[in-house]
């Protein structure tokens, strides 16, 4: 039999049932820039299935697919946090609201999927450690 010990320092994860990306999102602690052609956008949040970025309104339409690139830290501390991994992938715009575009990854290579998964897990761990250290 398993049970979860109640912890006052627990981190709650809220999932909006209307979230069209169907994934738990994290906001990176450091600024990450998304590049598309000659334009740059700020990453708002990221999940295992997609991301959101901020841009000028009406730049893209729903169902548009674009090729992006971004560089993410390889680790969460020390020398690995200084090394950046470049990731290039395609995303599909699934929704936009107030100049924030919500997107889903499409045709993600196995290597880029592993790199994104590693970044997201490291970032979650980093945020948990940061919240524990500030309490």
pLDDT at 1: 46
Mean pLDDT of the chain: 80
- Kindly tell me if the per-residue pLDDT of 129 is higher than 60: yes
Could you give the C-alpha distances from 85 to 13, 74, 131, in angstroms and in order? 27, 6, 26
Express each pLDDT in 40-92 by its tens digit. Answer: 999 999 999 999 999 987 789 999 999 999 998 766 555 555 678 889 999 99
Q: How many Å apart are CA 105 and CA 49, to the nearest integer?
A: 6
pLDDT at 13: 46
Q: Does 95 or 4 have the greater pLDDT score?
A: 95
Q: How many Å apart are CA 49 and CA 56, to the nearest integer?
A: 23
Domains along the sequence of the chain with CATH: 33-128 (2.40.10.220)
- pLDDT, average across residues 33-45: 93
User: Which among 40, 65, 66 has a CA at the least distance from the CA of 54?
Assistant: 40
User: What's the burial of 1, exposed, middle or buried (CB within 10 Å: 0-12/13-18/19+)?
Assistant: exposed
pLDDT at 103: 95
Which pTM does this prediction carry?
0.74
Q: How many Å apart are CA 79 and CA 29, to the nearest integer?
A: 17
């Amino acid at each position: 039999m398993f049970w979860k010990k109640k912890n006052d320092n627990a981190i709650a994860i809220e999932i909006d049932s209307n979230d069209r990306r169907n994934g738990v999102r994290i906001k990176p602690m450091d600024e990450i820039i998304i590049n598309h052609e000659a334009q740059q956008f700020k990453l708002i949040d990221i999940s295992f299935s997609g991301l959101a970025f901020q841009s000028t309104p009406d730049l893209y339409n729903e169902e548009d697919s674009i090729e992006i690139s971004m560089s993410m830290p390889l680790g969460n501390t020390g020398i690995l946090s200084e090394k950046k991994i470049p990731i290039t992938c395609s995303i599909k715009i699934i929704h936009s609201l107030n100049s924030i575009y919500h997107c889903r990854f499409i045709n993600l290579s196995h290597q880029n999927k592993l790199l994104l998964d590693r970044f997201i897990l490291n970032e979650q761990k980093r945020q948990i450690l940061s919240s524990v250290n500030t309490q």
